[in-house]
Amino acid sequence: MATYLEFIQQNEERDGVRFSWNVWPSSRLEATRMVVPLACLLTPLKERLDLPPVQYEPVLCSRPTCKAVLNPLCQVDYRAKLWACNFCFQRNQFPPAYAGISEVNQPAELMPQFSTIEYIVQHGPQTPLIFLYVVDTCLEEEDLQALKESLQMSLSLLPPDALVGLITFGRMVQVHELSCEGISKSYVFRGTKDLTAKQIQDMLGLSRPAVPMQQGRPLQTPEQPVISSRFLQPVHKIDMNLTDLLGELQRDPWPVTQGKRPLRSTGVALSIAVGLLEGTFPNTGARIMLFTGGPPTQGPGMVVGDELKTPIRSWHDIEKDNARFMKKATKHYETLANLSAANGHCIDIYACALDQTGLLEMKCCANFTGGHMVMGDSFNTSLFKQTFQRVFSKGYNGEFRMAFGANLDVKTSRELKIAGAIGPCISLNAKGPCVSENEFGIGGTSQWKICSLDPSTTLAIYFEVVNQHNAPIPQGGRGAVQFVTQYQHSSTQRRIRVTTIARNWADAQTQLQHIEAAFDQEAAAVLMARLGVYRAESEEGPDVLRWLDRQLIRLCQKFGQYNKDDPNSFRLSESFSLYPQFIFHLRRSPFLQVFNNSPDESSYYRHHFARQDLTQSLIMIQPILYAYSFHGPPEPVLLDSSSILPDRILLMDTFFQIVIYLGETIAQWQKAGYQDMPEYENFKHLLQAPLDDAQEILQTRFPMPRYVHTEHGGSQARFLLSKVNPSQTHNNLYAWGQESGAPILTDDVSLQVFMDHLKKLAVSSA
Amino acid sequence: SPGPPSAPADPAAPPPRALGPPPQGSVGAAPRAEARPSAAPCPEQEECSVSADTVLAPLRAALDSCRATVQKQVCNDIGRRLTVLEDAWAQGKLSAPVRKRMSLLVQELQQQHWDAADEIHRSLMVDHVNEVSQWMVGVKRLIAETRDLPTGE
């Protein structure tokens, strides 16, 4: 057959969807026996350069409990101008505007190539986007200066009619009134006292808008513009004054004595930001951008005290229940995150410090709202500066990539139900016939809200097959899913992206080979990984590893070919052959192995893992390794210690780091200076090639990865050595025999040992 | 021979006697990178001989044309920043790339290529913020206000 690989790739390109299974088992019982759930990765706003949006409203099914959008799977009677909804079978009349349609004159939304289509539905005045800067002033002078310059620079990158606001904080929290008149004023709040949104709004002299509004619609009450203008002004009006205001920002004036941390009131600052936006512009696209250089040390949301001798909590502290402030702080930020998400506003966290800043406690702010999380050592680094610039990046069509206020609604044909979603979203608690009682991730709903997203944001959505065993499937029957994403485009237009897909049902008892052949092992690995990481956030680490192992063994038992109790006979077909390797690397990954990282680092890695598309997610699970040598053109090589050779340069991409590693001989040649001799120019080229390739990644990826340039014996070589499969260790050194590869000092099992164990367990009849 | 990774080699020590030189000639590894277009449209390494006046005079002229319609305070603010630019230029505080790109910006402004001028302002803010942040927002504003002037200007 034209392989499923092509089918899978074409569907991803067109619809932004990857399913774990592309031929679906037709009964609930059989589906659970598949081990890997029926699920998909969805990139709602996948960049489609060839898909011009249509300028009319989508046609909806008239059944109130359905309201599916007209799509290529619907049966159409062109003569009678009727269409049958493929989800609920309701017959619907076409609206009058469709009077002229026929078989040869189809509207775009009926054509198969428009299984994904985008509608522009709002015209006329729109509410502008809002950017509220929340800035920590407890920074070192150099750091603060660099941050100020980045903020000033960003004013040139904002959409000109966007609104901007500024809150600064340290021991106190200052809300700056932005005006074009000479004197700048601010409202000062104590950083120790938490306030409700209403109190904040009262103290700032705002009043709540009377009418709840739909995201992006213009405000109704005439006095709104006057009230909000004091703290949130259009960039094109306020840019010069705000540039000066930013330029004049000083370090927090409260002295920090020896052995103490600065008093940082992040919790109150964020409360005020959320309350301010709620009171002025609910339900419109807004970014609260928190810039912080250290942990919150006072007030609600404090993560550590101000005594330096008390270190900030580590994973060991948390395990031993020795993290005093964690629960309360997490609760504070979760409340804020939920409030902000309910208002359609996202919270970004830009945390630059050598020590932890409390990302563990604050992560919900970014994770619930779709906001960014950027972690760096200092604001005075290219990692922060360039990453921050990319927040405002534009796509190929010159439009901002960022989008706001997305509402994702999923509909399924009746044999399927929705079990949940994992990604940067919150539940909208939309109950209905499509919603399953079993929850995977954020469940109990068929709708989620993503307050901020871009063309790479990807959700994992889990389904449940509910057809009873032995219920007849109609011949050639297909199941269908429709994803409807309403959102606010960066131009402030409202748009709707509709993706409708279908897959064949198959009887697992008689057609297992078809189901097998259509398995997408890459998608399955990422979908299982997201589930594992989601569980790891709430369960104990070892339980998740045991669960992953159990699922893997069951999968091998079901789909492997083998003779009982004969591990050597074990085979996996091509569509499954890479899956165990993904699981092996996932088990070793920083997403599930936390003790090598701080809690903040783990939160950072997990944050990005829960929203990236499939390709990037796979890089995170199983980093890519390229080898450069004189033996041939650059090539990808196994992520294995045997790939580390003296006469090679390796480039490793883990998504979070780009590591260039010079083999021993290469390093010695470089030390000897051969690259500077004209007759050895090709050596110079060899050294340069991985640097050029690294630059391509460094210049485009968000967030910008850490760049590590190291060599054999270098202390930073550990970045590479800890990732590769340790096929050669001090334990099996002499058994190996050959002089190839660099042995790794570890007691971790290698992939070979892992596979041996797996085969033994899979074939065992016990 | 394989062994545990050794301690970092002493940088002053010569390579082991057994190490020969790398292979010569164009064997194998051709660099993968395609030629990357440079950010600025002109080479910035050569000595920049743009005079301050070729940049400041058109900017001040543009500002003058705004005074009739644009708020006085805004004009004064822009004017103040142009003076900061002039002083920085005179004191040799601006690097060659900045001076070169400013002269391009002014050319685009004079030809009413507003978007192009805007792009150059943005690229200067992104690439040289520490040199330009004090006054560039004035230039940005000047472009925006000049663009919005009633036609005929």
A145-197 confidence digits (pLDDT tens): 999 999 999 999 999 889 999 999 999 999 999 987 767 899 999 999 999 99
Return the residue matching tokens 């971790």: A748
Residues of A within 8 A of B16 (CB-CB) are: 668
Choose the CATH number for A130-206+228-391 among 3.90.1200.10, 3.40.50.410, 1.50.10.100, 1.10.1740.110.
Answer: 3.40.50.410
Return the residue matching tokens 């060839």: A50
Decide: residue A91, CB within 10 A, 0-12 exposed, 13-18 middle, 19+ buried: middle
Residue B126 in contact with partner chain A when CB distance is under 8 A: yes
- Comparing alpha-carbon positions, the chain B residue that sits nearest to A150 is B129
Of the two residues A172 and B151, the one the predictor is more confident about is A172
For each of the domains in chain B, give its residue range(s) and CATH number, in order of start.
52-148 (1.20.940.10)
Sequence-ordered list of residues with C-beta below 8 angstroms from that of A98, at least 6 positions apart, any chain = A59, A81, A107
A636 φ/ψ sector (left φ>0, alpha ψ -120 to 50, else beta): beta
Residues of B within 8 A of A239 (CB-CB) are: 137, 140-141
pLDDT given for residue A163 in this prediction: 95
Q: Is the ipTM of this complex over 0.95?
A: no
Q: What percent of chain A has pLDDT over 90?
A: 84
Residues of B within 8 A of A696 (CB-CB) are: 33
Choose the CATH number for A4-58+114-122+402-511 among 2.60.40.1670, 1.10.10.10, 3.20.20.140, 3.40.50.300.
Answer: 2.60.40.1670
Mutate to test the interface with A, among B137, B141, B142 (most CBs of A within 10 A): B137
Residue pair A410/A482 in contact (Cβ under 8 Å)? The answer is: yes
Distance from CA of B89 to the nearest CA of A (A): 20
Mutate to test the interface with B, among A233, A243, A385 (most CBs of B within 10 A): A243
Residue B15 in contact with partner chain A when CB distance is under 8 A: yes
Contact state of A714 with B134 under an 8 Å Cβ cutoff: no
Homologous superfamily of A520-621+749-765 in CATH? Sec23/Sec24 helical domain (1.20.120.730)
Sequence-ordered list of residues with C-beta below 8 angstroms from that of A517, at least 6 positions apart, any chain = A1, A4, A23, A573, A575
Contact state of B22 with A743 under an 8 Å Cβ cutoff: no
Contact state of A714 with B3 under an 8 Å Cβ cutoff: no
Q: How confident is the model at residue B49 (pLDDT cuts 50, 70, 90)?
A: confident
DSSP SS3 for B33: coil
Task: Strand A75-77: give its sheet, edge to edge.
Answer: A75-77, A82-84, A91-93
Contact state of A713 with B8 under an 8 Å Cβ cutoff: yes
Distance from CA of A689 to the nearest CA of B (A): 5
Residue B3 in contact with partner chain A when CB distance is under 8 A: yes
pLDDT in tens, A445-498: 999 999 999 999 999 999 999 988 777 776 678 999 999 999 999 988 999 999
Contact state of A152 with B133 under an 8 Å Cβ cutoff: yes
pLDDT in tens, A365-391: 999 999 999 999 999 999 999 999 999
Q: Which among A216, A218, A217, A164 has a CA at the least distance from the CA of A403?
A: A216
Contact state of B126 with A693 under an 8 Å Cβ cutoff: no
Residue pair A393/A401 in contact (Cβ under 8 Å)? The answer is: yes
Contact state of B129 with A150 under an 8 Å Cβ cutoff: yes
Residue pair A660/A649 in contact (Cβ under 8 Å)? The answer is: yes
Choose the CATH number for A623-724 among 2.40.110.10, 3.30.420.40, 3.40.20.10, 3.10.20.30.
Answer: 3.40.20.10
Residue B16 in contact with partner chain A when CB distance is under 8 A: yes
Q: Which among B44, B136, B51, B139 has a CA at the least distance from the CA of B97?
A: B44
Contact state of A743 with B2 under an 8 Å Cβ cutoff: yes
Contact state of B8 with A714 under an 8 Å Cβ cutoff: yes
Mean pLDDT within A28-50:
95
Q: What percent of chain B has pLDDT over 90?
A: 61
Contact state of A682 with B24 under an 8 Å Cβ cutoff: yes
- Comparing alpha-carbon positions, the chain A residue that sits nearest to B8 is A713
Q: Which of B28, B121, B125 sits opposite A632 (nearest CB)?
A: B28
pLDDT given for residue A743 in this prediction: 62
Residue B97 in contact with partner chain A when CB distance is under 8 A: no
Q: Which among A206, A69, A200, A94 has a CA at the least distance from the CA of A497?
A: A69
Report chain A's mean pLDDT, rounded to a whole number.
92
Residue pair B84/B134 in contact (Cβ under 8 Å)? The answer is: yes
pLDDT in tens, A564-579: 999 999 999 999 999 9
Distance from CA of A683 to the nearest CA of B (A): 7
Q: What percent of chain B has pLDDT over 70?
A: 70
pLDDT in tens, A405-454: 999 999 999 999 999 999 999 999 999 999 999 999 999 999 999 999 99
Contact state of A745 with B22 under an 8 Å Cβ cutoff: no
pLDDT given for residue A218 in this prediction: 52
* CA–CA distance, A366 with A387 (Å, rounded to integer): 16
Mutate to test the interface with A, among B72, B114, B126 (most CBs of A within 10 A): B126
Q: Which among A641, A631, A746, A629 has a CA at the least distance from the CA of A689?
A: A629
Contact state of B5 with A671 under an 8 Å Cβ cutoff: no
pLDDT given for residue A738 in this prediction: 46
For residue A169, report the phi and psi dihedrals to the nearest 5 degrees. Answer: -150, 155
pLDDT above 60 for B30: no
Contact state of A665 with B19 under an 8 Å Cβ cutoff: yes
Sequence-ordered list of residues with C-beta below 8 angstroms from that of A32, at least 6 positions apart, any chain = none
Q: Which among B153, B146, B151, B147 has a CA at the least distance from the CA of B75?
A: B146
Contact state of A630 with B29 under an 8 Å Cβ cutoff: yes
Of the two residues B44 and A609, the one the predictor is more confident about is A609
* CA–CA distance, A14 with A622 (Å, rounded to integer): 26
Mutate to test the interface with B, among A180, A380, A388, A682 (most CBs of B within 10 A): A682
pLDDT given for residue B1 in this prediction: 39
Query: What are the residue ranges spanned by the domains of chain A?
Result: 4-58+114-122+402-511, 130-206+228-391, 520-621+749-765, 623-724
Neighbour tally for A347: CB within 10 Å: 32
Q: How confident is the model at residue A123 (pLDDT cuts 50, 70, 90)?
A: low
Distance from CA of B27 to the nearest CA of A (A): 6
Contacting B residues, span 50-69, partner chain A, CB-CB under 8 Å: none
Neighbour tally for A125: CB within 10 Å: 10
Contact state of A634 with B23 under an 8 Å Cβ cutoff: no
pLDDT in tens, A388-409: 999 999 988 889 999 999 999 9
Task: Give kind and range of the element (H or E) at residue A75.
Answer: strand A75-77
Q: Which among A425, A419, A412 has a CA at the least distance from the CA of A440?
A: A419
Half-sphere exposure of A551 (CA within 13 A, CB side): 23
pLDDT in tens, A224-263: 444 356 899 999 999 999 999 999 999 999 999 999 999 9
Contact state of A696 with B134 under an 8 Å Cβ cutoff: no
